[in-house]
Amino acid sequence: MLKYLFITLCSFLMLTGCNSEKSKKNVEKSTKKDLKVIAYVHRLEDNWGKDFEKVHQITHINYAFANIKDGKVVEGNPSDSITFKKLNNLKNANEQLKILISVGGWGWSGGFSDAVLTSASRELFANSAVDFMLRHKIDGIDLDWEYPGLIGNGNVHRPEDKENFTEILKLLRKKLDSLATENNKYLLTIATGAFQQYLDHTDMQEAHKYLDFINIMTYDFYGGGDRITGHHANLALTARDTLKPPRSARFAVQQHIDAGIPANKIVLGVPFYGKWWKGTMPVNNGLYQPTSGKTGTYYFKNIADSLAGNTGFQSFWDDEAKAPYIWRQKDSLFMTYETPRSLKLKTAYVKDNDLGGIMFWQFNGDNGSLLNAIYDNLNDNTTTNNN
């Protein structure tokens, strides 16, 4: 009898140990799965199939953009139906992939304020957004309103936008949940501005309750309108920053947390493009210097080609800001951009602080190395203490 009890006890302990180890692996797998990699796709280029060979490295695609006309969400381009078919076909290679439609953006946010002004207009807008999603057989809606209560790109805006923004999210959540099944839950997300004024004109403590996650546009801190150069997506604050108040990815995340958003709902945005200025003063290789010439943007893949070629580009690293930059002497060109090195630090920051993942604008800008850096480092169990 004692021998039998001993054998039974050993078997139980072995089984428990195996299950414990299996549970541990499942937790690790689940944690990695829960870290989102969200790709904004603005258009599909001719070689789009080759571009998406690494679709397994992406969890979500936000197609940009749908427009707003007469208070309704409508296709932004005549080819959108074909585009969504192509994007949905990517699920053959990644069955976990989710496709969302992003509504608005910088150029098409002018209709938001009117569309959400009354209960009747919100009903019209919400129904059209859901119909759009169902028509194209996709998985959710992403509102990219730039920005509630603020002028943005010369947009109509009102103080009431703050309350109405929350109300439209609440209504959309209700409609999406009414369509949900046990195996199919539709997503509702937003893109937010990485500055305090955005948070002052929204009620994120309430609004986040209706959202699956929130993508912070933690880039474009400096741009062509600035006559002093600076990093446009730096992770950390730097004492030399001329912006008032200064901006950084970490600072923007903390502002969102202080506004009442849970950390695990926050997705950190990164750029797959660089911003440049010509006619820049050469001190400190152009960083934080007055500039007077032309400005513009380059895709990262073009920047990488220029660095590899004999173009005069010199790459530097700002250890305080945790960000790279480029200087070209012949035309006094200063450029701020993202690299695998800077993304390694950002992915470590996401993991160290239990954020929801990383979003990037936009897919066509990469040559593969930036997405590799995000995927490899998010799925690496090690972290870096860069708080």
DSSP string, 311-360: S--EEEEETTTTEEEEEEGGGTEEEE---HHHHHHHHHHHHHTT--EEEE
* Residues 122, 331: Cα–Cα separation, whole Å: 51
Enter the DSSP assignment of 184.
B
Q: Please check whether residue 42 lies inside any domain of the structure.
A: yes
* Residues 305, 18: Cα–Cα separation, whole Å: 50
**314-365 confidence digits (pLDDT tens):** 999 999 999 999 999 999 999 999 999 999 999 999 999 999 999 999 999 9
Higher pLDDT, 50 or 133: 133
> What is the average pLDDT across 43-70?
89
Residues 338 and 272 sit within 8 Å (Cβ to Cβ): yes
- The predicted structure's pLDDT at residue 384: 52
Nearest residue to 269 via CA among 62, 103, 86, 87 = 62
Q: Per the residue annotation, which of 21, 28, 95, 146 is the catalytic one? A: 146
Q: Please check whether residue 159 lies inside any domain of the structure.
A: yes
Q: CA 33 from chain center: how many Å?
A: 17
Q: Please check whether residue 4 lies inside any domain of the structure.
A: no
**237-293 confidence digits (pLDDT tens):** 999 999 999 999 999 999 999 999 999 999 999 999 999 999 999 999 999 999 999
Q: What is the extent of the structural domain holding 203?
A: 33-271+339-378
For 23, the 3-state DSSP assignment is helix
Give the β-pairing of 187-193 and 213-217. Answer: parallel
146 is catalytic: yes
Helices (H), the chain: 2-34, 48-51, 80-89, 112-115, 119-135, 161-179, 196-200, 204-207, 249-258, 300-308, 340-352, 369-378
Q: Please check whether residue 70 lies inside any domain of the structure.
A: yes
The amino acid sitting at 70 is D
Strand residues in 177-277 grouped as ranges (E):
187-193, 213-217, 266-271, 273-277
Q: Dig out the tokens for 32 from the structure.
A: 């990695």
For 234, the 3-state DSSP assignment is coil
Question: Within 10 A of 283 (CB to CB), how many other CB atoms are there?
Answer: 10
Question: Within 10 A of 58 (CB to CB), how many other CB atoms are there?
Answer: 23
Q: CA 177 from chain center: how many Å?
A: 24
Higher pLDDT, 173 or 387: 173
Q: Please check whether residue 207 lies inside any domain of the structure.
A: yes
Indicate whether 385 pLDDT > 80. Answer: no
Q: Please check whether residue 284 lies inside any domain of the structure.
A: no
Q: Please check whether residue 2 lies inside any domain of the structure.
A: no
* Residues 47, 21: Cα–Cα separation, whole Å: 44
The torsion of the CA quartet 209, 217, 254, 214, rounded to 10 degrees, works out to 20
- The predicted structure's pLDDT at residue 381: 64
- For residue 340, is the peptide bond before it cis, meaning its omega torsion is within 30 degrees of 0? no
Indicate whether 25 pLDDT > 70. Answer: no
* Residues 110, 114: Cα–Cα separation, whole Å: 8
Q: Please check whether residue 247 lies inside any domain of the structure.
A: yes
Could you tell me the pLDDT band of residue 12, with boundaries at 50, 70 and 90?
very low
Count structural domains, the chain.
Answer: 1
**193-212 confidence digits (pLDDT tens):** 999 999 999 999 999 999 99
Report how far apart, in Å, the C-alpha atoms of 51 and of each of 4, 62, 368 are.
Answer: 61, 16, 8
* Residues 185, 188: Cα–Cα separation, whole Å: 10
- The predicted structure's pLDDT at residue 43: 83
Q: The CATH number of the domain where 370 resides is what? A: 3.20.20.80
